[in-house]
Structure 1
C-alpha cells in the first residue's frame, strides 16, 4: 500500500486544519493535525484512509484510472456541443482592452447563403448530438438594418430546428433586439459590465468615447422583464477589481440578483493576442483569487452577486461531492466548435479568426483539415508529458490548448492551473465553519 499519486493535501488558509482531496476516488476531507499526521504515516493502519482512496494498491489505482478515463470519453461523446457562430468582427465599442483590436477589416459580410451553409453543415456534422448555437462577434447585435435582418434569420432558422440560441454582446443595442430575441428559443444573453457607471465608462465606451453604462443597464432590465436569461460578466484586472463590491451592491439594489434569470461570471483580463501593451494591470489566475478572497471577507455581500469557483471548492460546497475526474479541460473540437461568416471552421473562441488556425471550411465548399483536427482531438492529460505524473492533473485537466500552444509552441503541452493554492482559499471561504 502507498499514498495515492492523486492526493492533494495542504493547509487551509487562515486555519490550523488541513484538507485532502483525491479527484480519482472522488473523496475530500478536512483533517486536524492528528489525522493529517496519520495520512502521512502510512505504517499506521487506518481503514478510513484506505476506503477513501488516499492510501492505495497501485495496481488497483491504475485500473480505476483506466475505468474512469474510458467513462470520461464515453460521457463526452454524449455531451452537448456549443457551436459558436461569429457573425462579424466589427464593433461599435472601442474598449481599452479589446483582444480583437488587431483583426483586419474584412471586405465581406454575412449573407443568408452563408447562414444556410452553416446550418446545413452543423445539422449534418452534429446529427444526433445535443447542441446549441452561441452568436458571437465582434459585436453581433449591431443596429444596422441589414445586419439585424441577418441575426433575425439565424434566430428564426434555429427555432425551426428547435435549437437554443445564446449570444455574447456588449449590450448597447439590446433594446432594439428584444423583439427579435423573442422569436427564438433563447438560452441566455451574456452582457458585460466592468463596474459601476464611472469605472465601466472608463473601460467600455463607444468609438468616439461616449459612455455605454446606462444603455446596457436598461438592456439588462428589459431582458429580465421579457423572461430572457442574463449572464452578466465583469472583466476584471487590477484597475477595476476594487469596484466589484459597488457593482455587486448595484445589482442587488436593482433586484437582479433576486431573479432566477440572472447569473454572473468574472472574466480575467489577460494577455490575449496583441491587446495588452501594458501588462502591469493584469492578474495571474492565483493573484486574482487571492484578492477575491480578501474582498469577500470585507464585503460579504459580493457572494449574493457572484460566488467564485476557487477550483472545485464551490462545486464541493454546493453539491456535497467531488466532480468527476477531468481528463481534459480543453473543449475545442470535442464539445466546442467555432464558425465565422467568412466560411471558416475553428476549434474554439480562443482561435476563431486567427490567421493559420482554421481547421476547415463550410462555405463556399466543405473542407476539413483532418490532421489538424486530430491533433486537437487527441490532446488530453495522457498526451501532455508534464501532466502524466502530476497529482493535480485530474482537476486541472491540462488547461487551455490554445494558451499552451501560445506559451510553449505545442498543443500537446501544459497550461497549468494553481489548483492547490485555489483550494486553500476556496475551502477556507466555503467551509470556514
Structure 2
C-alpha cells in the first residue's frame, strides 16, 4: 500500500527552494503546508532534480512527505482550495482601510513624488463633500470594520480652511467610533497636535529620508526651491515627531530609499536611537523603495530593483547592526518566521484595491487604492454630488488574485508573492491581471541568513505592539 501511495506522490508545486545567502545550506519553504526547513546541499540537489522521489524508503523522503514537500497532487489541490476559501473568508471579514484625500497640493517638492503630474487645485470648502463621503460609507461598508486614513498631497497644511476640513473628518469619524490615521510630511504636525488629540488616532505616518541635509535635499520645501531660498525642514519635522510622541500619539516613521540615501541609513538609525524614539512603544518604522509608478524620474541610475535594495540593506546591516534596533526588514516572510516561530498563512492576493482598501478624494470621485487615487482615468465612480459606481471595473479589481493571473498559476512563489501590485502591473502591461512579480526566494535567502542567529524573537516580544500595526500605508512605495 505504501509503495502505491509513493508512486502517486510528487514534489509539491509550492516548494520554494533557495540556497541561503553566503552559506552552503539551503532553505525549503512551503506556504501551503506552513513548513520551512534548513537542509543540506545534498538534499537540496535531490529535491531540485527530483531524484528524492526514487528513494521512498529513505528518512529524507519520509520527512519531506510528512511535511507536505512531497504529496499526492490531488490531495494538494484539495488543500489549496480549502486554503483559498479560508483566505477569502478571513479577508472579507477583515478590516477595510479607507483613504480620503482633501487635496493634492503639497508644501514639499520631493524629487521622487509620483503625484507630481496631478492637478493641484486649491482647497475648497468641503463640508458637503465630507458629509456625502461618510453617508456613502455608512451604506457601502455597512456591517464591516473600517478605519479612515487622511492622505494627500499634504493633508496638514496651514490655514483655518484646512483645519476646518480636518476637524470635519474627525467629527465624522468620532460619530462612528472610527479610528483615524494620517500620512503627512510632518512639517505642520506640531500645529495640529491639539486638533488631532480630539480624534481616535491610530497612527501618524511621517517620512524622514535621512538626517539633516540628506533629508532636506530629497524633500525640500517647495517655496524655498522655487525662490532659491531656504528649503530646510528636517528640524521642524523632528520637532513634530517629538511633540506627537509627547502627546501620546503613535508615529510610524517611514524612509524612502534609493542608492543616494541607503548608504547613510545608519545615521538615521543612530539619530532615532539617541533621540529615544526607538525605546518608545508608540514609535515604529517602515522602509519604502523609491521607484517609478505613474511618471518617469529624471535620475534613473539611483533607483533600485527590489532585490538590489535588500542586498545593499543586508550589507549595511552587517556593517551597522544598530540598524536592526531601528528597523527589522521583512525580507518577504523571513521576519515573520523568526518573530513568530511559524510561517504566515498563504497569500493568494497582495493587492488590496477594492477589497481591503478604497480611496476617495475631495472632487467626489472613488478609486481603488492609494496607487490610483487622483490619477485621471482610474476612477471607479463617484460619491458626490451623486452616487455612481462602475460595477464592471470594480469587479475586475475584486477578481484579481493569483487564480486570475495566468502567469501565477504554475509559479512556486505565488503564495508568498500574492501577484504583487495591480496598479504597477496595469501600468507596465496594460492588463490588471498581469503579474507584478516579487523575488521572494532571494529575499527569503537573505532574511534567513540575517535572522537565524539574531535575537529577533526576544526583541519582538519586548517591543510587541498593537496587532493592528500591519497597515497598507502608501503601498505604492512599499514595493
Q: CA deviation at 1:389?
A: 0.5
1:285-320 deviation digits (Å, cap 9, x = unpaired):
110000001111110000000111101000001011
Quote the Cα distance in structure 2 between the aligned partners of 1:432 and 1:402.
37
2:424–2:436: 8 Å Cα contact kept in structure 1? yes
1:118–1:362: 8 Å Cα contact kept in structure 2? yes
Quote the Cα distance in structure 1 between the aligned partners of 2:296 and 2:208.
19
Q: In structure 2, which of residues 363, 366, 384 is the aligned counterpart of residue 345 of structure 1?
A: 366
The 3-state SS of whatever aligns with 1:42 is helix
Q: Does 1:36 align with 2:44?
A: yes
| Structure-1 residue corresponding to 2:391 | 370
1:38–1:44: 8 Å Cα contact kept in structure 2? no
Q: CA deviation at 1:110?
A: 4.7
Quote the Cα distance in structure 1 between the aligned partners of 2:46 and 2:191.
64
**Aligned residue pair count:** 433
1:324-364 deviation digits (Å, cap 9, x = unpaired):
11111110000000000000000001000111100000000
| Structure-1 residue corresponding to 2:175 | 160
Q: CA deviation at 1:123?
A: 1.5
1:58-97 deviation digits (Å, cap 9, x = unpaired):
1000000001011111111111000000011001111122
Q: CA deviation at 1:152?
A: 1.2
Quote the Cα distance in structure 2 between the aligned partners of 1:22 and 1:197.
44
| Structure-2 residue corresponding to 1:379 | 400
Q: Does 1:204 align with 2:219?
A: yes
- Counterparts of 1:223-242 in structure 2 under 5 Å? 223-242=244-263
The 3-state SS of whatever aligns with 1:289 is helix
1:384-424 deviation digits (Å, cap 9, x = unpaired):
11001100001111100000001111001110001111111
Q: Does 1:305 align with 2:326?
A: yes
Q: In structure 1, which of residues 392, 396, 421 is the aligned counterpart of residue 413 of structure 2?
A: 392
TM-score, with length taken from structure 1: 0.98
| Structure-2 residue corresponding to 1:121 | 136
1:98–1:275: 8 Å Cα contact kept in structure 2? no
| Structure-1 residue corresponding to 2:88 | 73
2:125–2:161: 8 Å Cα contact kept in structure 1? no
| Structure-2 residue corresponding to 1:7 | 15
The 3-state SS of whatever aligns with 1:187 is strand
1:93–1:205: 8 Å Cα contact kept in structure 2? yes
The 3-state SS of whatever aligns with 2:450 is helix
2:416–2:440: 8 Å Cα contact kept in structure 1? yes
The 3-state SS of whatever aligns with 2:278 is helix
Q: In structure 2, which of residues 196, 205, 208 is the aligned counterpart of residue 193 of structure 1?
A: 208
Quote the Cα distance in structure 2 between the aligned partners of 1:202 and 1:403.
27
| Structure-1 residue corresponding to 2:117 | 102
Quote the Cα distance in structure 2 between the aligned partners of 1:387 and 1:81.
25
Q: CA deviation at 1:106?
A: 2.8
Quote the Cα distance in structure 1 between the aligned partners of 2:290 and 2:365.
27
The 3-state SS of whatever aligns with 1:349 is coil
The 3-state SS of whatever aligns with 1:66 is helix
Quote the Cα distance in structure 2 between the aligned partners of 1:185 and 1:276.
37
1:101-129 deviation digits (Å, cap 9, x = unpaired):
11123366251110000000111110111
| Structure-2 residue corresponding to 1:22 | 30
Quote the Cα distance in structure 2 between the aligned partners of 1:273 and 1:63.
40
Quote the Cα distance in structure 1 between the aligned partners of 2:125 and 2:404.
38
Q: Does 1:259 align with 2:274?
A: no
Q: Does 1:53 align with 2:61?
A: no
Change (3 A) 1:143 1:31: same
1:158-205 deviation digits (Å, cap 9, x = unpaired):
112100000000000011100000000000000000100111111111
| Structure-2 residue corresponding to 1:90 | 105
| Structure-1 residue corresponding to 2:342 | 321
Q: CA deviation at 1:156?
A: 2.2
The 3-state SS of whatever aligns with 1:405 is helix
Quote the Cα distance in structure 2 between the aligned partners of 1:180 and 1:275.
37
Quote the Cα distance in structure 2 between the aligned partners of 1:196 and 1:185.
30
1:185-243 deviation digits (Å, cap 9, x = unpaired):
00000000010011111111111232110000000001110110000000111111111
Q: In structure 1, which of residues 145, 157, 162 is the aligned counterpart of residue 160 of structure 2?
A: 145
Q: CA deviation at 1:37?
A: 4.8
2:353–2:397: 8 Å Cα contact kept in structure 1? yes
Report the more deviating stretch, 190-199 or 98-107.
98-107
Change (3 A) 1:417 1:110: farther
TM-score, with length taken from structure 2: 0.89
| Structure-2 residue corresponding to 1:403 | 424
